[in-house]
Structure 1
């Protein structure tokens, strides 16, 4: 009966039942059939307020909404175009870097496709890049920034991992810096592939202009220092991550509202409301997922899963291969926040038993998730791009194939060369 009811809940979720309701329903059914008092659910839901660094999530989310509502995307594209636009394939590299940076600060790849897609897709077309290539580039670039600080998924992975009883041996600050080199590797490989496949189009680039370089830096002079302030403050120990989130919000309010005047004061309440609606969605999924995680622990699911894996998998290499395949499929069907909250408590102890460093696991996990965003048939970014550019979903599928292959190759390197992720981890 329990399995039948769970199957019904999953079926309803596929038909559109809210994800948090499906997660909570499965947990409630599990506790009921395990003859455990359902009061434990209220206790687990209450645990959300005890989550370390929880305040950083709404603050960084609000900061992302401020950037999305301003003209920072245009200034960012102008700067990268002035710096790199003269290179062969420069506009493609500009698109990759601009989208990655924008996603890192907004925390949502779909927002990047919508916000920067309108700017970059026509520009790529006008520069003579093939239509299919342009579609694939913008769709793929939307999720690249998930490995760069202050990525919300990186923070959430650390928050969940640090709540576990397993001796994790990492900090969120280590996670934030660990994604920089793997993220740059992905951008570099995609840039090289773009230059190789678009040789004729890449040859027609703009001439380098020192004056335009100076003007673009002047135009973005208040936004360019933000990453240095954020990372410098965190890694110098001057302020903690939650304090960095406060500094980021205050800085952006001053810059975007009073200096650039892109955002009017009367817009702030609406932006704050929209941001907190998104945060509310994240937190309710997080809290319900914590309840489901408690059920898994109650029935000893991690130990059962560990026993099964150790019977069938003998080496770290085999485990990582299986993990990549599983996470790629998971990333295509489940949003990244739910995937982190549900799967990290199950995967982390097993990965550590195979000698996988928790920081390395976090980067591998998120690298898979960002590729999952564009994995057919149901990767979220594929549908966002189809809607945004009014193209059939099958055309979007075809346009991303080459980019997917390059990203999968980069994933192999990131997975089996852990020093890339652990370069700055003491």
Structure 2
């Protein structure tokens, strides 16, 4: 079964990579557009996200915070662990039943896509939750906690169960079902905030983020009238968006490049071009770290994959190990400001009626360059190395020739996407296919079997992000439906009358959000609340987006829970607080750039 799920994930990922370019080529040659090609691609993404979610759970890589879990004594962790297991089981249980109920409602049996019933496509969602439940039971020696959680889930999902009963039998469910569900609606209405508090606290102890957010969404929709089927509907809606479809492909391209020899070749190009300057290796390290984060969408991946190599090059050029490791750590999150950053894609998709993704990509380029230059500047100032060779034009030309295939990729993205020749999905497809051909057939870093193994490594990263995107969209929908953005706008307008003061408070808020929330949850949940408030102060939506994303980039480095600090601690085998102290000069420089970007809108709007 494990091989079947993994094989399905890789096949779906391969189809996602190939279809956009094949469709484009076929239409260009024949002049005949392929019917429903966009729908096919986005529904493939939906099916992939479900399979990827199961694979992510199987590898125990669902994103979580676990802030308190790290500092709690072992005895307390033993007590909390079964509670978290029961909560996970309960939330997965209600999600499975609500998605199962919606399976019979969302599409009719006649609705098909290329002859495939759309109900069959949607069935991947309840099957994902069922697969996660199975893994939860299979991974625990004691079945008591997961069983207790599922038993709790059944009455909480009495409404969806009644829907399943009606769909299967054609008859109304016994009144008992509705009575139990109405009781749950009443309880959730009275205890909504305690339920949210319990789930947030559980997330701090290590409950997967998407479980916590899904549980909050289920409680919120329950107390609002019991429309819990909106959760699977929102999940399907966001994950069949063409922009979201690019996420797994950019992640795949990043992993293929990071695990192959691309990093070494790009470093050689930059080192030969600027390595003779003071701080040349620093420039090389920052550029390469930024490049890989841009493609993987996860700064931690860059630190894990290239941290050792970049540190070795920097120390070999005379930098101290502490300086080298702190530079790599601090440079890890800058890539989210450059195309084709997944953070920009998700922000633009979440706020699609306020900002265009294309404009947001253009608006974030100058701030991204400023961030990179600030890292380079601090790195050069701290560089006391004297191991610099003389500039050699023949060596530079040799490095350029060797690295030409790698350099074609970013050039192809810029020319293809920003000239409008490629759509975002086609750009992602080009990236993934080009990276595969480059690493397997040109560089021969992998054979096809090894490339499939690398692709499998990329799936949990994409899967972990996509399930959070689905869960957070449900929470965001409820907040918008409840009018919370408008309430927040009125509240801010009543107490904050200065645009400059609002921007200052916004930075404080977002840095705190970046400390305590992961990137994608913050974008999906917090940005819809911020955007209308910022618009009320006349702030350009692209400017707001750049401020938002830059703040979150700082959040990766900000104690107590900056994710990059923990990843760097693991990678470099150093205490977290030692990493945090070493990173402080870089963090201070990034904060100054943030202030510059915040109060001078030109940096965000100059290229529009």
Q: Deviations over 1:313-350 (max 9, x none)?
A: 11221111111111111112211111111111111111
Contact 1:73 1:115 in 2 (8 A): no
Deviation at 1:381, TM superposition (A): 0.6
- The equivalent position to 1:8 in structure 2, one of 193, 198, 213, is 198
Aligned counterpart, 2:366: 181
Contact 2:516 2:561 in 1 (8 A): yes
Aligned counterpart, 2:61: none
Q: Deviations over 1:34-70 (max 9, x none)?
A: 2242222232222124423232112111111211221
1:119 matched to 2:339? The reply is: no
Which stretch shows the higher mean deviation, 349-358 or 398-407? 349-358
Aligned counterpart, 2:178: none
- The equivalent position to 1:192 in structure 2, one of 377, 382, 406, is 377
1:152 matched to 2:342? The reply is: yes
Task: Report the Cα distance in structure 2 between the residues aligned to 1:37 and 1:157, rounded to whole angstroms.
Answer: 26
- The equivalent position to 2:412 in structure 1, one of 196, 214, 229, is 229
Aligned counterpart, 1:60: 250
Task: Report the Cα distance in structure 2 between the residues aligned to 1:196 and 1:290, rounded to whole angstroms.
Answer: 44
Secondary structure of the 1:86 match is coil
Secondary structure of the 1:246 match is helix
Secondary structure of the 1:25 match is helix
1:331 matched to 2:514? The reply is: yes
Deviation at 1:206, TM superposition (A): 2.1
Contact 1:386 1:392 in 2 (8 A): yes
Secondary structure of the 2:225 match is coil
Deviation at 1:30, TM superposition (A): 1.5
Secondary structure of the 1:207 match is coil
Q: Deviations over 1:183-231 (max 9, x none)?
A: 1111222222232333x43x54221111221121111111111111111
Unaligned regions of 5+ residues in structure 2, if any? 1-190
TM-score by length of 1: 0.94
- The equivalent position to 1:77 in structure 2, one of 267, 271, 296, is 267
Task: Report the Cα distance in structure 2 between the residues aligned to 1:345 and 1:208, rounded to whole angstroms.
Answer: 50
Contact 1:67 1:106 in 2 (8 A): no
1:211 matched to 2:408? The reply is: no
Deviation at 1:171, TM superposition (A): 2.1
- The equivalent position to 2:455 in structure 1, one of 272, 295, 319, is 272
Aligned counterpart, 1:296: 479
Deviation at 1:250, TM superposition (A): 1.7
Change (3 A) 1:185 1:2: same
Secondary structure of the 1:381 match is helix
Deviation at 1:281, TM superposition (A): 1.8
1:37 matched to 2:206? The reply is: no
Change (3 A) 1:269 1:116: closer
Contact 1:140 1:403 in 2 (8 A): yes
Task: Report the Cα distance in structure 2 between the residues aligned to 1:50 and 1:206, rounded to whole angstroms.
Answer: 52
Task: Report the Cα distance in structure 2 between the residues aligned to 1:192 and 1:35, rounded to whole angstroms.
Answer: 56
Aligned counterpart, 2:525: 342
Task: Report the Cα distance in structure 1 between the residues aligned to 2:239 and 2:374, rounded to whole angstroms.
Answer: 41
TM-score by length of 2: 0.67
Secondary structure of the 1:179 match is helix
1:97 matched to 2:284? The reply is: no
Task: Report the Cα distance in structure 2 between the residues aligned to 1:85 and 1:250, rounded to whole angstroms.
Answer: 32
Runs of 4+ in 1 over 3 A off after TM superposition: none
Secondary structure of the 1:223 match is helix
Contact 1:88 1:204 in 2 (8 A): no
What number of residue pairs does the alignment pair up? 418
Aligned counterpart, 1:375: 558
Contact 1:222 1:255 in 2 (8 A): yes
